[in-house]
Amino acid sequence: MKNTDLYNYILGIADNTLILGQRLGELCGHGPSLETDIACTNISLDLFGQTRSYFQYAAKLKGGDSTEDSIAFLRTERQYVNVLLVEQPNKDFAFTIARQFLFDVFHHLFLEQLQQSKDVNLSAIANKAIKEVSYHQRFSSDWVKRLGDGTAESKERMQDAINDLWRYTDELFHTTDSDLVMIKEGIGVDVKKFKDSYYQRVNEILEEAKLEIPESKYFQKGGKKGIHTEHMGYILSDMQYMQRTYPNMTW
């Protein structure tokens, strides 16, 4: 394949939206209230829609009998390159919100830059996706504030979730070899450039939510290289079940 770096780069973006979409989809019928249930699955739907656009493009680059479905369903764990943050379990609603918030702030900043990509397909997808992600960010930020500045119980849970997931934030700013090639060509986004803005935005919301900003300097990484946490296998066994059981099935 000629465009291996571009292909890898696209997977690096789309595996995040795929796996986070899958996690949120698990809440369908299980959200803490009807409204939040619908919100989480709506966000999931947006993320899956974006994933489809990315994977359709990736499948075209790969050629042969590659399709958006084969990319989504027929890879093994080590071939998924999403960040560890998005594969973390829902646990309680505070965790779901904290994970979403820490990702949404990144996602919005990332798409802002991707809109300027020299690759017309990627800039078009970014252009579309960023409108949706503004709503996601608004939703998750609102809930961080509501839970953080809520009851003693909700505050404690929200703080626990932020403390626990904080270690996965640094990986958002790691770059792979393919990322570097794409950045050089003006196709990819140099994530390091907005790392400061990321923490600044996150910290502003946490302060508004009367939560403490974690001070831990220990960060976990691996997802972007295909080395995942123990949760990933369970996600895939659930997500890939139909395709593995009935190969090539279609709806």
Partner 1 sequence: MTVVEGVHIDEELIPILVEVSDPEIPVLSILDMGVVRSALVADKHVHVKITPTYSGCPAMDVIGDDIKKALEKKGYTAEVELILSPAWTTDWITPRGRKALEDYGIAAPLDAEADKDVLLHGKRLVKCPQCGSTNTKMVSQFGSTACKAQFQCNDCQEPFDYFKCLK
Chain positions contacting partner 1, by CB under 8 A: 35-36, 38-39, 42-43, 45-50, 52-53, 120, 123-125, 127-129, 131-132, 135, 138-139, 142
The single residue listed with the structure tokens 């764990």 is: 77
CB 219 → partner 1: shortest distance, Å? Answer: 31
CB 132 → partner 1: shortest distance, Å? Answer: 6
Q: Which is nearer to partner 1, 106 or 139 (CB)?
A: 139
CB 32 → partner 1: shortest distance, Å? Answer: 13
Strands of 75-178, DSSP E: none
Tokens of 120: 């017309």
First-to-last alpha carbon distance for the chain, in angstroms, is 29
Distance between CA atoms of 77 and 242, rounded to whole angstroms? 16
Q: Which is nearer to partner 1, 245 or 250 (CB)?
A: 250
Q: Which is nearer to partner 1, 119 or 171 (CB)?
A: 119
Q: Which is nearer to partner 1, 123 or 163 (CB)?
A: 123
C-beta neighbour count of 35 within 10 angstroms: 9
Distance between CA atoms of 100 and 42, rounded to whole angstroms? 13
Q: Which is nearer to partner 1, 120 or 152 (CB)?
A: 120
With beta carbons less than 8 A apart as the criterion, state whether 89 and 231 touch: yes
CB 209 → partner 1: shortest distance, Å? Answer: 16
CB 89 → partner 1: shortest distance, Å? Answer: 22
Distance between CA atoms of 84 and 232, rounded to whole angstroms? 9
